[in-house]
Amino acid sequence: MNKNSALSVELCGLKLDNPIIPASGTFGYGYEFAELYDINILGSFSFKGTTYEPRFGNPTPRIAECPAGMLNSIGLQNPGVHAVINEELPKLKKVFNKKVIANVGGFSVEEYARTAALLDECEQIGLIEVNISCPNVHNGGMSFGTDPKAAAEVTAAVKKATTKPVFMKLSPNVSDIVAIAKACEDAGADGISLINTLLGMRIDLRRKKPVLANKMGGFSGSAVFPVAVRMVYQVYEAVKLPIIGMGGVSSADDVIEMMLAGASAVQIGAANLVDPFVCKDIIETLPAAMAKYGINNLKDIIGGAHNG
């Protein structure tokens, strides 16, 4: 079998040469990494979380180091959807000739739908990933992704606004991830992305105050990997949708483990910030890892840990 086709996977009709996708917020709009290597080797990538209006983001400091991970409270800093369509995507087209994943944030159901409708016009975009870890301004700041009803509402609104496949990116900061995933499926989602960051905090011992200006932030990195694998496994059992798995992935072995749990493709996030070549390295080492575990074709192992 052709070595390359052994790595290929599919997400709702979008064919990927391999399952490796840099995660939103860790790869910018792609062209910065294109200066380091040919990013066309990637399956795809999810660009920086984009909202309708430009956002400056949260006050600094907004990054904190942790053992086996990091905290961030960037606050969805981005130039707004119009600048993304008019400036970022044309720049990206010069260095990336595959379909890209648009990551959409919002603070109301209407904002999600408006942003998705504009991105629907973009031929470069293969699918839309909807970040429902954003605070719902009409509901006291509670994240859309912590309430099945709110998650379903956003899903239905975005589905109505776009013809592209819609993947809902779920927050792990819930007691029942399955209820949220099922609500998204029932509302018409085409796929599920999980997990987003866990809520964490560090305190500066000298200042005796929180390190982050925002006090709390999203915890990511290798420490969250077992949580991500568990949630992907649970959601795979509960829904009949393709899953993009993420959370602490940093090696070819991690990719295989995530796919055995049920992921059809895998995003790499915090590891990109530690080593900008990590996605390239994973793609190059995947065939050897597959050989080590007797895997001929990655498609065959999706959800393999559920058999028997």
* Residue numbers annotated as active site: 134
Q: Given the DSSP bridges, would you call strands 265-268 and 243-246 parallel, antiparallel or unpaired?
A: parallel
Distances (CA, A) of 196 to 31, 33, 167, 288: 24, 22, 13, 29
Tell me the HSE value of 59 on the side-chain side, using a 13 A CA sphere.
Answer: 5
Which residue(s) pair with 10 in the sheet? 15
Query: How far apart, in whole angstroms, are the C-alpha atoms of residue 185 and residue 166?
Result: 10
Query: How far apart, in whole angstroms, are the C-alpha atoms of residue 263 and residue 242?
Result: 7
Q: Which residues contact 150 (CB under 8 A, 6 or more apart)?
A: 132, 136, 139, 142, 144
CA 116 from centroid of its chain's CA atoms: 16
Which residue(s) pair with 71 in the sheet? 64, 219
Query: How far apart, in whole angstroms, are the C-alpha atoms of residue 178 and residue 88?
Result: 35
The residue length of the chain stands at: 308
* The two structure tokens encoding residue 191: 């796929």
Burial (Cβ within 10 Å: 0-12, 13-18, ≥19) of residue 104: buried
DSSP E strands: which ranges in 67-141?
Answer: 69-72, 100-104, 125-131
